[in-house]
Homo-oligomer: A and B are copies of this chain.
Amino acid sequence: MEEEKQEKRQTKPIRCIVKLGGAAITCKSELEKINEENLKIVSSQLRQAMVLGQSPSTKVLGMDWSKRHGRSEVSCSVDDFGYDAIIDSSRFIVVHGAGSFGHFQACKSGVHKGGLDQPLVKAGFVATRISVTALNLEIVRALAREGIASVGMSPFSCGWSTCERNIASADLSIVAKAIDSGFIPVLHGDAVFDGLQGCTILSGDVIIRHLAEQLKPEYVVFLTDVLGVYDRPPVDPNAVLLREIAVREDGNWSVVKPVLQNSNKVETTVAAHDTTGGMSTKITEAAMIARLGIDVYIVKAATSHSLMALSGELRSNIPDDWLGTLIRFVS
């Protein structure tokens, strides 16, 4: 399998694909508001994970040289950029959700249901793209400020399209070229053309699955706003964090840790949760990645647990005090 992977891509493998969940990096309750504090910590943790094993630079050399609000000058010290200044090609891909960006515009117009001949859908397509690309720009900026050589790549601009809402065309050569050149592609859920219904929303989770299938990363991390996947909505005081989920060849999955008294019952409550929170959908998406032999971690953003997942150290050993959900293939 390892050989097959190498043969197919003929380049160094991708180390990690990270999903920045919309709920983790935006304020879900407030329209188009970024959770600046979380985003800064997430960016810093990504940097730390990327420099692992490299001689750490004492200074973060920012790559966002834009004028900051209220200032007339930019901060950029050319002299700092010596040959040891930049994080070596770390082969990460970042994909982010929309959170409080894009959802309003998409829902209001029904872009996900298609119908570009309807003026409202067409306008909603434009409005959705404006909102999600604005978020993408801010995330690229936050990463660049941490010295990560991030480049924004919109699926729509990349020419990606769907048919019946499944990915129909998504040429990864541009993404691969960016990684091979030492950049970190930053993709996002986007409004795209759909072969059957005209247009739809291509979600960040579907993008992750496609990237994982095609590029076979060593591991995948989903950063969310809760500790991981629970057996029922996490606001329920009786909710139990599912620490480890085993995925079988046929795609079925079961909770192996903690040992639950009645696993049928758990699956039922997860399904019930799904109607409001989509956790079952999340497990199903993650299970499809895990089936490829790729470990998936679902973990709370901006915590010590997320840093451990991003760094890859959980691959060999999961300490008892690590909080999160591991989804792993078992043959």
Which residues does A use to contact B, with CB under 8 Å? 30-32, 61, 63-67, 72-74, 76, 78, 81-86, 104-105, 108-109, 116, 118-120, 122-127, 129-131, 133-134, 137, 140-141, 144, 149-154, 156-159, 171, 173-174, 177, 181-183, 193, 198-199
Contact = CB atoms under 8 A, between A and B. Distances in A.
A130 B140 contact: yes
B119 A83 contact: yes
Given A116-B182, A153-B157, A63 B31 contact: no
A127 B104 contact: no
18 contacts: A30-B72, A61-B119, A65-B131, A66-B127, A66-B131, A78-B109, A81-B123, A83-B118, A85-B119, A122-B149, A122-B182, A123-B149, A130-B140, A133-B140, A137-B137, A152-B154, A177-B193, A181-B199
A116 B198 CA distance: 39
B151 A156 contact: yes
A144 B137 CA distance: 18
Nearest to A32: B67
Nearest to A199: B181
Contact of A116 (B134, B156, B181): B181
This protein's copies in its complex: 2
Given A78-B109, A104-B65, A104-B74, A130 B119 contact: no
A137 B140 contact: no
A36 to B, nearest CB: 15
Contacts of A66: 32, 127, 130-131, 134
Given A82-B119, A108-B78, A63 B151 contact: no
A73 B31 contact: yes
A234 to B, nearest CB: 27
Given A133-B137, A152-B154, 18 more contacts: A31-B67, A31-B73, A63-B127, A65-B108, A78-B108, A83-B118, A85-B119, A86-B123, A125-B151, A126-B149, A126-B183, A129-B151, A133-B140, A153-B156, A154-B157, A157-B157, A158-B158, A181-B198
A130 B126 contact: no
A200 to B, nearest CB: 13
Contact of A130 (B83, B144, B171): B144
A152 B104 CA distance: 20
B85 A31 contact: no
